[in-house]
Amino acid sequence: MSRSQPQATARPDDLAVTAQRCAAQLLCGDPARSAEEVARRLLAIQAQDPRGARLTIRARSAGLSASDVDAALTQRRSLIVTWLNRGTLHLVRSEDYWWLHPLTAPQLRTGTSRRLAQEGVPPQDAERAVATMQAALDSDGPLTRSQLRERVAAAGVRTEGQAMVHILVLASLRGLIVRGPVIGRDQAFVLVQDWLGPPPPAMSREAALGELARRYLAGHAPAADRDLAKWAGIGLRDARLGLARCGATQRPDGLAELPANAQQPANPRLPASLRQVAAGLPPPLLLGAFEPLLLGWASRDPIVGPHRGLVTVNGLFRPFALAGGRAVATWSITGGKVVLAPFSPLDAQAQTALAADAADVMRFLGE
């Protein structure tokens, strides 16, 4: 059996950083026992691909299924999806919405107004559309995107192209609506005040930046200030303020982490021996589209290496297999089974582990 390309050329300290980040990401160590626990650790999970967001939770938990994620969204109301951080949909805990939204959403409004104008929706029409959706959700909610589109179109507002998407973004950025319950294959929109209830006491911006930095490092350390800034969609100055506020410590390699007494139990300091570091890496895993391991830092090169096709020219992050701390294949579901496309031949141990994980993917998805 031919083997994949050896990774001995990787420096031990580089692999140690990858191993630490994977541990912080819950990809090794004790698995989470609930979807909420994964969301607490990662803080915000990119979610424009619903299956990808659910697979993010699968890879970091044990004994769950996609229906457990749906239950958190629908029955428990403990998770919601909305536009945050970098201006894309994110899955977050409902309790984190209250401070994360006012911290990261306001800076996105200018871009949304510009896109609405490009889509042929003038400001007065955008206001009418938002008011129409509010009234519809107040009287008939929850409603799916297609149902809201019908109401907005009936009010005489353009919904073709990307217009409806940016109308929904506008209402979301204003803190009026979020995506809540799962209805069939759709996730319906709801009014924030109805679905989540009254807000808690507001957090100051400086305190929110500190909480952002603390929670980011809990799921991403070690990381640099530029990593936090890119991930959260905030300025570098704010990222540094947040890191200072949460008491982050600076390592000799320039990366930051939480103080030793605040380290997550599953995020140990790893030895520098290549063999010892490799033992601390996650087992071979299948990871979904828009995987946080590729989105959490300014550079994804340590994971992707030369296989830059994992991210397409239109910004789609493809599902991939991870082995030895590196991307080794892409994968898809074809004909009711997982099909791997390795970058180079995989050794027998990796093949066996990925086959077992493929079976768990199908179990989790209920397919």
Structure confidence at residue 313 as a pLDDT band (50, 70, 90): confident
Of 114, 143, 174, which residue sits at a domain end? 174
Of 122, 149, 174, which residue sits at a domain end? 174
Determine, yes or no, domain membership for 34. Answer: no
**pLDDT for 289 beyond 50:** yes
* End-to-end Cα separation, the chain, in angstroms: 31
**pLDDT for 9 beyond 60:** no
- What token pair was written down for 299? 């550079």
CA distance 35 to 58: 8
What's the pTM? 0.92
Tens-place pLDDT, residues 316-342: 999 999 999 999 999 999 999 999 999
The region of weakest confidence among 30-44, 264-278, 301-315 is 264-278
Determine, yes or no, domain membership for 348. Answer: yes
| C-beta separation of 337 from 286 below 8 A | no
CA distance 273 to 71: 43
Structure confidence at residue 267 as a pLDDT band (50, 70, 90): very low
Structure confidence at residue 280 as a pLDDT band (50, 70, 90): confident
CA distance 10 to 149: 51
Determine, yes or no, domain membership for 221. Answer: no
CA distance 229 to 212: 10
Determine, yes or no, domain membership for 284. Answer: yes
Q: 349: domain range?
A: 274-365
Ordered alpha helix ranges (H), the chain: 12-24, 35-42, 50-58, 66-74, 94-104, 109-118, 123-140, 145-154, 163-173, 192-195, 205-220, 225-232, 236-245, 274-279, 292-295, 301-304, 348-365
Structure confidence at residue 273 as a pLDDT band (50, 70, 90): low
Tens-place pLDDT, residues 57-101: 999 999 999 999 999 999 999 999 999 999 999 999 999 999 999
Residue with tokens 């994804």: 300
**What pLDDT does 13 receive?**
74
Tens-place pLDDT, residues 141-174: 899 999 999 999 999 999 999 999 999 999 999 9
**What pLDDT does 277 receive?**
58
| C-beta separation of 94 from 79 below 8 A | yes
> Cβ of 184: how many Cβ atoms within 10 Å?
7
Structure confidence at residue 294 as a pLDDT band (50, 70, 90): very high
Tens-place pLDDT, residues 205-224: 999 999 999 999 999 999 99
Q: How many structural domains are present in the chain?
A: 2
Determine, yes or no, domain membership for 244. Answer: no
Q: Which residues partner with 90 through β-bridges?
A: 46, 82
Determine, yes or no, domain membership for 357. Answer: yes
| DSSP result, 143-195 | B-HHHHHHHHHHTT---TTTHHHHHHHHHHHTTSEEEEEEETTEEEEEEHHHH
Of 174, 198, 230, which residue sits at a domain end? 174
Determine, yes or no, domain membership for 212. Answer: no
Structure confidence at residue 7 as a pLDDT band (50, 70, 90): very low
Determine, yes or no, domain membership for 202. Answer: no
